[in-house]
Amino acid sequence: MKLAFTEMGTGRPMVILHGLFGSSDNWTTLGKRIAETHQVFLVDQRNHGKSPHSDAFSYDLLAEDLQHFMEEQEITKATIVGHSMGGKTAMRFAQLFPERVEKLVVVDMGIRKYKSHHDDVFRALHAIDLSALESRKDADEQASALIPDFGTRQFLLKNLYRKEKDQFAWRINFPVLEAKMDEILAAADEVEVQLPTLFIRGTRSDYIQDEDKTAIRKIFPRAQFADLQTGHWVHAEDPDGFYKTLMEFVTAS
């Protein structure tokens, strides 16, 4: 699968992977900052952003997509950064293709199985009548009853675009994502990865608990951990702290 992406900067390559329901656009501001010293690739994973839709969806496939992308871009080795679902992709990529990874950065995602908490999101996405929309504001009003939080609605509605003058469409293939939620939330494969790895967690998020660290180190023996005072969207809530933490790890010998 040929993935959509944005490239910026020069230097050592860094590939950044967004999370569930996200896209490469979520990383543009930070990407520009990182691109002052690195060649940055912001990638849309399958069924997200401007990348193709597919009924097939698994972390093996996402990792293989990334491998093909790096081959196409002639990237021999890169630092791989992944947030949330993108962190799971990054971990699986490091397991399958360790020779292509210089350093691994996983943002607010652990290795254990998670319970689904996206039911309201999917109900809202199904409830929005695209044929009746005249503006993004209409979609926001339709979704507000199921998703009261304005920030969450705006994040999701970034996926809405005008396919034609009078027709909206979704960039995310949410029916497939909904069908594959058990797989998306499944525990990571237990394949040891001997690579420098940094797990950055938000202290107001519950994706990585203190008791998870022992299990994480069994798969990633060289894992380091860093905390930022944020929720799950670590890089958006504390961009300065995230940038500092990321670059200290990436540039360390």
Same-domain check for residues 92 and 13:
yes
Statement to judge: residues 135 and 28 lie in one domain: no
User: Given the DSSP bridges, would you call strands 101-107 and 167-170 parallel, antiparallel or unpaired?
Assistant: unpaired
Alpha carbon 28 to chain centroid, angstroms? 13
CA distances from 21 to 44, 57, 212 (A): 11, 14, 25
Query: In this predicted model, what pLDDT tens digit does every residue of 151-199 receive, in sequence order?
Result: 999 999 999 999 888 899 999 999 999 999 999 999 999 999 999 999 9
Distance CA 170, CA 172 (A): 5
Cβ burial of 109 (10 Å; 0-12, 13-18, 19+) is: buried
Contacts of 92 (CB under 8 A, 6+ apart): 59, 60, 62, 63, 188, 189
- Could you tell me the residue range of the domain that residue 101 belongs to? 5-114+187-251
Last residue of a domain, one of 161, 179, 197: 179
Q: Which of 133, 163, 179 is the last residue of a domain?
A: 179
Amino acid 66: pLDDT: 98
- What pLDDT, on a 0 to 100 scale, did the predictor assign at position 163? 87
Looking at the DSSP assignment, which residues form a beta bridge with residue 224? 198
- Residue 164's pLDDT is 83
Residue pair 70/78 in contact by the 8 Å Cβ criterion: yes
Do residue 136 and residue 227 come from a single domain?
no
21 phi-psi bin (left φ>0, alpha ψ -120 to 50, beta other):
left
Is 108 found in the same domain as 123?
no
Q: What is the CATH number of the domain that holds 42?
A: 3.40.50.1820
My answer on whether 135 and 244 are in the same domain is no
Q: How many domains does the chain have?
A: 2
Residue 195 shares a structural domain with residue 76: yes
What does pTM read for this prediction?
0.96
Rounded Cα distance between 241 and 23, Å, is 21
Residues with active-site annotation: 84, 232
Give yes or no: residues 92 and 191 share one domain: yes
Residues 18 and 137 in one domain: no
* 82 and 135 part of one domain: no
Query: Could you state, in chain order, the average pLDDT of each consecutive group of 10 residues for the chain (253 residues)?
Result: 97 98 97 98 98 97 98 98 98 98 98 93 93 90 91 94 89 97 96 98 97 97 98 96 98 89
Residues 247 and 141 reside in one and the same domain: no
Assess whether 100 and 197 both reside in one domain. yes
H and E: helices and strands count for the chain: 11, 9
Same-domain pairing of 21 and 86: yes
